[in-house]
Structure 1
Amino acid sequence: MRIVGLQIGLGSRIRKSPFFEALVRHGLTHVTVYNHMYMPGSFGDPDEEYRALVERVSLWDVAAERQVEVVGPDAFTLCQYVSARDLRGMKVGRVRYAPMCDHDGTLINDPMVLKLAEDRFWISIADSDMLLWCRAVATERGLNCRVFEPDVSPLGVQGPRADDTMADLLGEWVRDVPFFGFVETSHDSIPFVLCRSGWSGQGGFELFLQDGSRGLDLWDAVWAAGEKYGIHPGAPTLNERIESDLFSYRADCGAGASPLEIGLNRYVSLDRDDDFIGKVALLTEQKRGPARRLVKALLTGERFPATSESPWPAVGQDGTPCGEVRVAAWSPKHESNLCLALVSAEVAGGPFRTVTPSGETLNASHHAYFAEQ
């Protein structure tokens, strides 16, 4: 059910990003709340926002992707213990995708970890309170490190012309920044970390602004550099990120799945010789096999006018409940309705059905296991 005219009341409890005024200036129409911050959802034309992302260049306020900074003699020890992925061998200036679990092996975040120095890391988090978690773990284990949220707000520059945009702004050297590599730099005295990363499959950069008072200056500088390439304001695009196998914590799993159910096996280091939170539970699950799997499926029916707002029940061919369609949207790439569904291992890989909030029954045909194409 869509509630026409519903508004989110703005207030001090939910934070605005350093780029917020630029979003309003460019016609922001939809927001969501992510890590206790407003995050843009759309500027009123999702189809054009998709085209800009896959054909040109799109500028995103992703400041809600907050950082947990860990610094001090035991900084690595803490990051290694809370991460299900082994961080040993990681070099300064590099990034690793590092799922994190609780003691039951349930995924509680899937951040990037940036290594700024041998004793300094940023955990670039998805939508859950990892600052509180990391602080608690550090204190309980008596680790000598400081855990806090720094003044760091990422700005995304995504799409096939992202390199051209950033090269015009900073110089040709940006083209040599490797994937999941970063460089500390500045423009017009605006300090930021330039990282080749982003929540799309189209390539690009994230600019980790290190001075919140210069947010509008950085936005305007990037916008000016990208105008000749058709830059467009946008936001993380649900249909494109499903097409590109990019996971959205909480949206895709309801904060109640393991990384093995999601399909993140290659990012979980179960052969490590050291301990980490969730290791015993994950080893047990690996031995018996995950009970559910996250799958991508094509759905029948008319083109969805908008993305789904809540999970839909999934049932097997025999009518038995088998899980949930977590998110669904129209896919321009596949010219079909597309969904991510968390379903039983017995049903995963085959057809199932789902029922929309309006009561329409849709058939789902298996497209791929998530993250395993």
Structure 2
Amino acid sequence: MPSGSSIWISPRPTTKKSLRCSGSGTRQLKRTSLFDTHVRSGARMVEFGGWEMPVQYAGIVEEHRAVRSSAGLFDVSHMGEVEVDGPGALESVQRLITNDAARLAVGQGLYTPMCTPSGGIIDDLTVFRLAEQRFLFVVNAATTAKDVAWIQQHTRSARARDRSSEFALLALQGPASQAILQRLTRADLPSLRFFHIAEGVDVAGIRCLISRTGYTGEDGFEIAPPWDVAPRVWEALIDAGRRDGLVPAGLGARDTLRLEAGIMLYGSDIDETTSPLEAPLGWTVKLDKGEFVGRDALRAQKELGVQRKLVGFEVADRAIPRSGYALHAGGRQIGQVTSGTFGPWVNKGIGMGYLSKAFTKAGTQIDVQVRGKAAPATVVKLPFYKRPTSETRKQGNEETKTS
């Protein structure tokens, strides 16, 4: 799940848990319970919206490729968790989100925006149904404080609690992730389907909440142990995955992976000035489910049609598009890059940006203004990378061995 106005910005409110901090003066940086583990592993630590977080270990490209071919382990404990429960919980959740939580079975989750009355995106998040009237929101780090206040404002008879301080969050991602995690638990992982969640799962002797979700375009799991014992789970996972080539991975690789997978970043690709209909998120807007915040505005926008759309594009040469670069066609600006990078797996410059509707068709030729020079690019259908099936992955591995 995306967070922050760039991958290096993810503010999070002070939680009830006493967090270790560094630095002197008026601003101190918070640390997750895995800080010492990261330092011992040789991670490069950077400021990340008030937190000291690992941006990379061996290197972004190496970590990116490990996730695509085997597995990587990320610390995303700066993410927020909000529980909504009690009488009227479903009604409150339905009012808050654009997607339809009523269709969820217990143990199932969905991806959804949460919108303002004018249809702007407050956040994009995951909602899990833990019981008939009990739901867990997993929200972006950059918007946790805002989200908690908004959720509490719009829950009436139900109770909304910020539980961010109680959990760490580890993301085990990649084609080997199930095999690695299975070595540490008796839970039947093959039966845990995509976007489903299980509570009280014993992982390396520690009760955790686990979901089959991620932010990389690969199969994977997000594992939430109690905050203080997260280092034990981390080390157990690293040991269990050593034979498969599992590597610790930083937020730099997480960003390049999500962009290859065509996943939006809140604060860059979407925010309160953009609507789900302008982004490729119309499938998450259920206008027929009943009232929710932003419904009238989104219905009107759908009837009138949007004037711009978020698209993906590929650069013809090895130029690297960056956020804020202008996008041109016919000698004039038609948009700007919201996210851009060189994709280590797809081996080309890729990016996203909002374009006037006339330029959004796949195959449209545009230019990216890179350091004052026009780099030819082509609008393409997202995602840039799609996870292969197990059969095609096996075939690719065999071709690699024989080449």
TM-score interval w.r.t. the shorter chain? 0.7 to 0.9
Residue equivalent to 1:111: 125
Q: Distance in 2 between matches of 1:153 and 1:96?
A: 21
Does the aligned pair in 1 maintain the 2:211–2:221 contact within 8 Å? yes
Post-superposition CA distance 1:239-268 (Å, at most 9, x none): 332222222111223542111111111111
Shift of 1:166: 0.7
Residue equivalent to 1:4: none
Residue equivalent to 2:191: 176
Shift of 1:279: 0.5
Q: Please tell me the residue identity of whatever aligns with 1:322.
A: I
Shift of 1:164: 0.8
Shift of 1:187: 3.0
Does the aligned pair in 2 maintain the 1:311–1:326 contact within 8 Å? yes
Does the aligned pair in 2 maintain the 1:131–1:149 contact within 8 Å? no
Candidates 357, 375, 381, aligned match of 1:362: 375
Q: Please tell me the residue identity of whatever aligns with 2:332.
A: T
Does the aligned pair in 2 maintain the 1:163–1:204 contact within 8 Å? yes
Are residues 208 and 172 of structure 1, via their aligned partners in 2, closer, same or farther at CA, if it must alter by over 3 Å? Answer: closer
Candidates 226, 232, 249, aligned match of 1:234: 249
Residue equivalent to 1:203: 219
Q: Which has the higher mean CA deviation after the structures are superposed, 70-79 or 219-228?
A: 70-79
- Provide runs of 4+ in structure 1 moved above 6 Å: none
Matched, 1:33 2:48: yes
Structure 1 residue ranges without an equivalent (≥5): 1-8
Tell me the SS of whatever aligns to 1:88.
Answer: helix
Cα root mean square deviation, aligned: 2.5
Q: Please tell me the residue identity of whatever aligns with 1:43.
A: Y
Candidates 263, 266, 273, aligned match of 1:249: 266
Does the aligned pair in 1 maintain the 2:139–2:147 contact within 8 Å? no
Q: Which has the higher mean CA deviation after the structures are superposed, 179-188 or 93-102?
A: 179-188
Matched, 1:296 2:305: no
After TM superposition, the structure 1 = structure 2 runs for residues 1-373 of structure 1, keeping only pairs within 5 Å, are 10-11=22-23, 13-31=28-46, 33=48, 37-136=51-150, 138-139=152-153, 142-150=156-164, 151-171=166-186, 173-184=188-199, 185-209=201-225, 211-235=226-250, 236-253=253-270, 255-272=272-289, 274-302=290-318, 304=320, 308=322, 310-317=323-330, 319-349=331-361, 350-356=364-370, 358-368=371-381
Aligned residues: 357
Post-superposition CA distance 1:207-265 (Å, at most 9, x none): 012x1110111111111111111110113533332222222111223542111111111
Shift of 1:179: 0.8
Structure 2 residue ranges without an equivalent (≥5): 1-20, 387-403
Post-superposition CA distance 1:312-348 (Å, at most 9, x none): 122222x222221112111244332111112221222
Tell me the SS of whatever aligns to 1:257.
Answer: coil
Q: Which has the higher mean CA deviation after the structures are superposed, 109-118 or 186-195?
A: 186-195
- Percent sequence identity over aligned pairs: 24
TM-score w.r.t. the length of structure 1 is: 0.88
Q: Distance in 1 between matches of 2:366 and 2:160?
A: 49
Q: Please tell me the residue identity of whatever aligns with 1:152.
A: F
Tell me the SS of whatever aligns to 2:360.
Answer: coil
Q: Distance in 2 between matches of 1:56 and 1:188?
A: 21
Q: Which has the higher mean CA deviation after the structures are superposed, 232-241 or 109-118?
A: 232-241
